[in-house]
Amino acid sequence: MLKEFFNLFTPYEWVITNKLGGYASGNAFLANSRKYHGLLVAGKENGKRFHLVSSIEEKIIFLSGLTYFLDTNFYKDVTYPEGYKLINDFFYLPYPSFYFACPQSKDFFLKKSIKMHKEKNSVLIIYENVSTYPFKLEIRPKLSFRNHHAVQFEKDWKKSSPEIDIFDNGAFVSKKEMVLFSYISKGTIKKGPIFYYQVYYPIEEIRGYEAFEDLFSSFKIEVELYPKEKFYLVFSDVPIKNIEKEVKVVESYYRKYPELNLQKNSFTYEEYLKILELMLESFLLKDDIIAGFPWFYCWGRDTFIGLPAVFHLENGFEIAYNIFLKYKNRMKNGLIPNVVGTSSETNYNSIDGTLWFALRIFQFIETFKDKLSEKQKEELLEAIKEIITQFLTNSSLPFRIDSKDGLIEIPESINLALTWMDVVIDGIPITSRYSKPIEISALWYNLLKFASKYLESSFIKEFKISSLLRKQKKSFKKYFNGELWADRIYKNEPVFEIRPNYIIALSLPFNIEDKKSMIKGLELAKKELLTSYGLRSLSPRHPNFRKKYFGSQYLRDLAYHNGTVWVWLLYPYAEVLKKILKGGKLKDELNSLVKPFREKILTGKIASIPEVYDGENPYYPKGAYAQFWSVAAIFLIEREFKTLGRR
């Protein structure tokens, strides 16, 4: 069923967001295929999200008497109604818009657009009559009122009956701690509660989760829509005093971005670069970054891997600086949190998150050296000193510094996954990378190299950092045998699994090996790991390779770091290319990395860049459908490509 819809439209999903962690999302055929799809998912404190509005039943009535439903719903054995058949074109950027055509005349009659307020949990739905004749629109919002990770049924609604109030230009619905205000620009609202039973979310079933839900509708809206006229429907979790002013505020945000329509169906290259900024901004909170939509909140590792892209945004200095300070204040024992949420959800099970944090501080200082005050600089360097001090002196950390080679060692006894390959099943790390993972060693080395440049000599001398660096530089020779790069050193022996982690290590500012060794590594990655959409997490020739990221949580977890393609890895790959190639050759290579994404974005048929793809034939997006570090990777490569000059 889904494959048919993907072929008719696209497998990519749309998403719009606000700076509270709220969002709206769906697909091109406007049939919710995930429990996360919806028109208003309100962002709350510590990453909590309330799924308030799922979808809308929409019926169009023409003067001739012809009647059509515009919406589409999945049920277990039927798709009803079939409004998708009237969708003749769509664009995801800079906001989702859908064009409906009459099945009889084939003429376009309606444009539906969805926009979101950036500072509020407020969504604007716009229905525009693009025909030459009037028609009537009858719509019923379908309410969910739940945590966005859950589903619920009629019995859940009846356990605590919702309060419903209809007023002149809108309606109010509340249930426990969740509230929804609905406002209309014209028309009438009639109270009339009904349920939609057993709505089916096929992707949830594929992923091994509860796939059915009952939705509640408390009222119906009727409106006459004349040629060229627009009808506005606003959903919000807070009351709105002036709907006209609210509409203007929401609309004004999107005016700074180029738009597509039936007459203009592709962005120019310069417009495309502006749209990439919009994609990047969609992950920004007021003082943090969402790792991905729909299910992730803030992750320290993801934030600082992708943070250099934020440097290039308007107000990028202020945004990045505030994020650094927030994570500095969250530090415990020299570690930043890996997962951020409530106190019970926040954890510090990561080494590389902290190392990326430190590396980005140094790169931030170098990027904004003319803008950064001495006080601000010292404030950031205090975090660096705390990290180094704790790493070298705190024996309670879940890793240690090997005094023989100066490298970070992860003991097998801790039974923790502390690198980005961090899947754990039944308490056991699936991709065990104990002892000395290569990218951890290279990040630690780069941190100390920068520290030698920026920290006072007394600190460098106290912790014998120069001696550590000499030991590390010598120890890196263990990772390369002249042909292959090891993924880690385990029990003092190199483990030659072909994974992309050595590319991460080679991409960092301070080289761990010579150019000849890097060329060998790049050639190997191009042969074994590189695909059209990213780098595989494991070579297909390895016995643990899994070609599909598909199925239940367990099956997906097995594949996650054992072959699945990751988009974000294109950026470290591009950084290695920059160290080896120059001029036209480099431009051609960088172009080939971003071209598959650029072509989709130029036509507006992709709203963001997904987390992962399958390890073989990576045609369909998988995982989170909008991932911060994926977007950051394409953004940064595209900037480098433009700097070199397009050909």
Q: Which helix (DSSP H) or strand (DSSP E) does residue 637 occupy? A: helix 628-644
Residue among 582, 438, 587, 575 nearest 509 (CA): 575
The phi and psi torsions of 580 (rounded to 5 degrees) equal -110, -40
Q: What is the mean pLDDT of residues 100-117?
A: 95
**Of 593, 433, 576, residue with least CA distance to 506:** 576
**How confident is the model at residue 155, as a pLDDT?**
94
CA distance 161 to 170: 20
CB contact at 8 A, 452 and 469: yes
Distances from the Cα of 71 to the Cα of 111, 182, 216, angstroms: 13, 19, 16
108-132 mean pLDDT: 97
Contact 72, 83 (CB under 8 A): yes
Per DSSP, the residues of 415-445 read: ----SS---EETTEESS---BEEHHHHHHHH
Q: Measured between alpha carbons, how far is 443 from 436 in angstroms, rounded to an integer? A: 12
Q: What is the pLDDT of residues 263-302, one digit of tens each?
A: 999 999 999 999 999 999 999 998 899 999 999 999 999 9
Q: Is the peptide bond before 294 cis (omega within 30 degrees of 0)?
A: yes
Name 436's Cβ contacts closer than 8 Å, sequence gap at least 6. 402, 407, 408, 409, 410, 488, 489, 490
- 409-425 pLDDT per residue, tens: 999 999 999 999 999 98
Smallest CA-to-CA distance from 347 within 335, 359, 356, 361 is with: 335
- Look over the chain and give the mean of its residue pLDDT values, rounded to a whole number: 96
Confidence of residue 468 (pLDDT cuts 50, 70, 90): very high
pLDDT at 646 over 80: no
Calculate mean pLDDT across residues 94-105: 95
CB 605 within 8 A of CB 628: no
In this predicted structure, what is the pLDDT of residue 8?
A: 93
Q: What is d(CA 348, CA 388) in angstroms, rounded to the nearest whole number?
A: 16
CA proximity to 618, closest of 551, 532, 556, 499: 532
In the prediction, which pLDDT does 619 show?
A: 84
The percent helix, strand, coil of the chain (3-state, each to 5) is 35, 25, 35
**Length of the chain, please?**
647
Grade residue 647 by pLDDT with cuts at 50, 70 and 90. Answer: very low
Amino acid 385 reads: K
Query: For the segment 526-568, what is each residue's pLDDT rounded down to a tens digit?
Result: 999 999 999 999 999 999 999 999 999 999 999 999 999 999 9
CB 634 within 8 A of CB 609: yes
Nearest to 355 by CA among 279, 448, 262: 448
Cα end-to-end span (Å), the chain: 42
Question: In one letter, which amino acid is 565?
Answer: V
For residues 445 and 406, give the distance between their C-alpha atoms in angstroms, rounded to a whole number.
9
Domain-wise residue ranges, the chain: 2-265, 278-286+529-647
Q: Looking at the DSSP assignment, which residues form a beta bridge with residue 112?
A: 98, 127
Q: What is the mean pLDDT of residues 180-184?
A: 98
CB contact at 8 A, 166 and 191: yes
Average pLDDT of the residues in 102-115:
95
Q: Which amino acid is it at 376?
A: Q
How many Å apart are CA 302 and CA 277, to the nearest integer? Answer: 18
339-340 and 298-299 beta bridge pairing:
antiparallel
Q: Residue 352: pLDDT above 80?
A: yes
Assigned token pair, 263: 């007459």
Q: What is the pLDDT of residue 446?
A: 98
Q: What is the 3-state secondary structure (H, E, C) of 178-227?
A: EEEEEEECCCEEEEEEEEEEEEECHHHHHCCCCCEEEEEEEEEEEEEECC
What is the DSSP track for 517-529?
A: HHHHHHHHHHHHT
**146-156 residue pLDDT tens:** 999 999 999 99
Sorting pLDDT into bands at 50, 70 and 90, what band is 343? confident
Domain 2-265, CATH 1.10.10 — does that match? Answer: no
Residues of the chain above pLDDT 70, percent: 100
pTM over 0.85: yes
Contact status, residue 123 vs residue 257, Cβ threshold 8 Å: no
- Do the Cβ atoms of 309 and 631 come closer than 8 Å? yes
Distance, in Å, from the CA atom of 423 to the CA atom of 410, rounded to the nearest integer, reads 16
In sequence order, the 6+-apart residues with CB closer than 8 A to the CB of 62 are 102, 133, 135
Alpha helix positions (H), 455-510: 457-462, 465-475, 501-507
Helix H or strand E encompassing 437: strand 436-437
Nearest residue to 616 (alpha-carbon basis) of 570, 558, 551, 550: 550
Count of CB atoms situated within 10 Å of the CB of 159: 10
Rounded Cα distance, 345 and 303, in Å: 17
Q: How far apart are CA 246 and CA 252, in angstroms?
A: 10
Please state at what angle helix 438-454 crosses helix 352-367, rounded to 10 degrees.
40
